[in-house]
Structure 1
């Protein structure tokens, strides 16, 4: 892609292709096979896709990027740190502090901006190679090949959507026909030409075309091997996300219904089990993390999970917005996933209340203070080096707590699709349909949920926003939700520290504040003859 469009070739020549057996697929870096073989058969194309599945989470940096920003494992919590969904309780060891402070995505030379751009274009380049190779002819169309083509088109759509909602003005709040989007690159192979920035509308049109093609291919395809593989449900899920971000409400609703078919909502036991496996019933798409390709101290659970044995979590347990938590009804079992009265044991806590019962307003003596800490440590399997903090999260729990062992990463759940449907119907002002959709989730989580309370569009949207903040906490949606809703960022009542958060403590709404748009990497502008400095965001 563009400056690094050669990434595909470099990635697939890193080691010699050794075979297609099950042992190889489970243990070898499958984004690294001989270039001459990479597109020679459906089996080898499938290996390329396996490389992308692993790239979603693994510490396998592409040329020109850094392992410290590895795939969605990094960007899911990064987007929630910037969007205010996941709050840092202290400076910790520095990881994602600049994200929360709004210093990283506004810096065109930052590693985070660079990796988000070039990793997504790596996915696009790999998808292009597969799609264009089959288009040359000579391949026998089989259910297996349809599966490969469906995944390639779905990956390309997903990657372009990630780029366009991040590096361009939001479709709903902008002028999509004229606003600058990202370069549309659909070719593969030499001479690896660069491209200008296409309009937001043109990029969305390509995304929609790819999703429709993916769904068509999946309809006559073999079944996915597992939830790491892209599927027709995943394609419908992305279609719903795309339509929601565009304001195409009916499509968003219809696609959400199709996406969640066959993926029933979790019960209380499973919801509170830690979100550490893609085997949960409502997981539509996720990464099955294997030991040989995890990224340990750069993994998703390292950033998000209070029990992970890393300095990021021992010193900086992540907390929920306290105003959001306090509004969760006592009859809603999700209230158990955060600990509002956890003692503030970190003397470096950013609210200035950490270290002992003398400073923590929830405790009046050290015995109760440290007994409460001990109970949490023993209950959840943390180490004695872990600090606790009021409103800390226990939504994400390791299978083997207190270790650095890998756990799965979830990218899409059916509960998100229920909320997509509810929002779309609310925006269509179909009050009854929106109430019914909202009740699917509300009644599953809260024994006293009453859908009839939400009898206007405004009331429905207020509740849908609240439900997304609770249900999808830590799953990477808050930054882009703010853009879609044109909501300002205000941490005044969240529990975040203004001293720690700096510029990220308060930001005006996206329609009047271009800092919501990420900077184009400076390296791209410097090397792409079609993008000038004047076209920087």
Structure 2
């Protein structure tokens, strides 16, 4: 922790301080530019917030796979989940979640390092922006944005390194270290309840400041009041504050209608009307073969995709109705021949040729596997794209689950699922008459279908206290033997990552 906070990289693009050609997301560390100069003006502080956005798509710890938020989505949300199949036996410790208690592992350390890096930068903005010269409205907006980032990071850390709420003894178990200033001294972990209290407080203050500023963002990659509402809804759902989750989910999606079917099939790499928040990505801002899209986009030229395409679980795919457009986002092997132990379709097979006919954007050297995904595509090679973080579809699902947990009228829950699935055009044949536990199962099913590949799978399974249950082809699944495991909710430290040794070695009060 001390090392992280002693090496804060406030990212700024201030023309008066640095000479550069690009005006977007240029960077300069605080060891080159003093904190006082960075926060001399409100314009400078605005560029520091741009730096927080940039930090979500940077490479870290000299590891090619650590690419900011995309790594969290893949390694911590998709890979260890129940519905994301990938033939990487060498990744079994990550995919089977057995590194949770390996405190010396870089995979244990990465989320802690990454999120506290952002938190440290956000803290500097929060503490210094009020002293900057410039319009009060602009300073309020900048401070609100920094508070939103901090709340988001604390939420993500709490889900990884804290117990699920059901196991927290009403929040009395350890949460995270609540660094909300610029000190780097020893500090104990707050309780999980106090961690959520801080998240709520940050978001309450951010929302008030957004309102007082009267300003609006200019890019989808900037955070704003709708992003704050959405993070509030996620936090409250995880915290089991269902009335709050319902309220803020409705607020978050206001002004963000569900995308059209054409937009749904466009590759999830360009912001559309449904996207509430994303990270910017273009040829002038890319990590090349180290980017998120170079690890998942079906049309990427990167070997990580060409040799091991990402697949939906066979069981989840089979639950997608034939009339649903989301079914077409995966390679249906019905009626074709392929290797049933791995899903591979050799270049001489009809399934291989069918894949290229269906998706001409596939790289010419790409391997073809049954159930491979066509949902996520790169805009440019090898892996360029805008990375989505929050969509209004998720807010419909949060509201539906929150209403169900509060025993609201069943019709209200059913109508939300109809709005998401039928009225949106995703499946105009969809109806919902389910009640009781079957209705909750339907919400879970459509979280799996709607949000597949977007980093929610493991987090949802942990929150629900549901087991991971993966099967080989012979048993109805499509996982290779080493990854076809059952992981019960009480296994692997109850799915809770232990604090990395790099933290406890330098912070003697953390446990």
What's the CA shift for 1:248? 0.7
Counting only pairs closer than 5 Å after superposition, residues 304-383 of structure 1 correspond to structure 2 as 304-341=296-333, 351-352=341-342, 354=344, 356=346, 366=348, 368-376=350-358, 379-383=359-363
Report if the CA contact (8 A) 2:337-2:345 is conserved: yes
Quickly say closer, same or farther: Cα 1:417–1:111, change in 2 above 3 A: same
Answer yes or no: is the 8 Å Cα contact 2:13–2:25 preserved in 1: no
Deviation at residue 382 of structure 1 after TM alignment: 1.9
Separation in structure 2 between the aligned mates of residue 521 and residue 322 of structure 1, nearest angstrom: 35
Distance 1:31 1:309, change over 3 A: farther
Aligned to 1:360: none
Match of 2:386 in 1: 408
Contact 1:73 1:298 in 2 (8 A): no
Residue 109 (structure 2) aligns with? 114
- The whole-number CA distance in structure 2 between the counterparts of 1:119 and 1:480 is 18
User: 1:418 maps to which residue?
Assistant: 396
Residues 514/105 of structure 1: CA separation in 2 closer, same or farther (3 Å cut): closer
Indicate if the aligned counterparts of 2:42 and 2:129 stay in contact, CA closer than 8 A.
no
- Residue 406 of structure 2 is matched in structure 1 by 428
Structure 2 residue 444 is the aligned partner of structure 1 residue 450: no
Residues 1:291 and 1:399: Cα distance change in structure 2 (over 3 Å): closer
Q: Is the 8 A contact 2:13 2:47 kept in 1?
A: no
Match of 1:80 in 2: 78
SS of the residue corresponding to residue 327 of structure 2 reads helix
Q: How far apart, in 1, do the equivalents of 2:63 and 2:413 lie?
A: 43
Query: Which aligned pairs between 1:93-492 and structure 2 lie closer than 5 A?
Result: 98-134=93-129, 142-188=136-182, 192-221=184-213, 222-278=215-271, 280-341=272-333, 351-352=341-342, 354=344, 356=346, 366=348, 368-376=350-358, 379-400=359-380, 403-430=381-408, 431-443=410-422, 444=424, 445-451=426-432, 453-454=433-434, 456-492=435-471
Task: Specify the SS of the correspondent of 2:80.
Answer: helix
Cα distance in 2, alignment partners of residues 341 and 326 from structure 1: 11
What whole-Å deviation, never above 9, does each CA across 1:81-130 have from its counterpart, x for those lacking one?
11223210355xx6x55421324444212222212101111111111111
SS at match of 2:138: helix
Report if aligned partners of 1:342, 1:391 keep a CA contact under 8 Å in 2: no
Contact 2:233 2:398 in 1 (8 A): yes
Residue of structure 2 equivalent to 1:363 = none
SS at match of 2:194: helix
TM-fit CA distance, 1:239: 0.2
Q: Closer, same or farther in 2 for the Cα pair 1:370/1:161, shift >3 Å?
A: closer
**Counterpart for residue 55 of structure 2:** 55
Contact in 2 for aligned 1:55/1:70 (Cα 8 Å): no
Matched residue of 1:220: which SS? helix
**Counterpart contact for 1:350–1:497, Cα < 8 Å:** no
TM-score calculated relative to the size of structure 2 = 0.91
State the TM-score, normalized to the length of structure 1: 0.87
Report the CA distance between 1:464 and its aligned residue.
Answer: 0.7
The superposition leaves residues 132-163 of structure 1 with CA deviations (integer Å, 9 ceiling, x where unpaired) of 2246x575652211110110111110010011
Distance 1:156 1:350, change over 3 A: farther
Where does structure 1 lack aligned partners over 5 or more consecutive residues? Answer: 358-365
Residues 218, 183 of structure 1: alpha-carbon distance in 2 compared, 3 angstrom cutoff: same
Distance apart, 1:501 and its partner CA: 1.5
Aligned residue in 1 for 2:87: 89
Cα shift at 1:399: 2.7
Identify the match of residue 508 of structure 1 among 483, 488, 497.
Answer: 488
Larger mean Cα displacement after TM superposition, 331-340 or 512-521: 512-521
2:340 and 2:17 mapped to 1: Cα distance? 52
Matched-pair contact (CA < 8 Å) for 2:165–2:171: no
Contact 2:306 2:366 survives alignment (8 Å): yes
- Post-superposition CA distance 1:181-207 (Å, at most 9, x none): 111111115xx2131111101111000
Residues 363-418 of structure 1: per-residue CA shift (max 9 Å, x gap): xxx56355335424xx3322221011111100012234xx3151110000000001
Go from structure 1 to structure 2 and tell me whether the alpha carbon gap of 1:370 and 1:353 turns closer, same or farther (over 3 Å shift). Answer: closer
Provide the rounded CA distance (Å) in 1 between the counterparts of 2:387 and 2:203. Answer: 23
Deviations 1:196-241, CA, capped at 9 Å, x for gaps: 1111011110000001111111112211121111110000000000
Report Cα offsets for 1:410-445 as digits up to 9, x if no partner.
000000001000010011111122112222102122
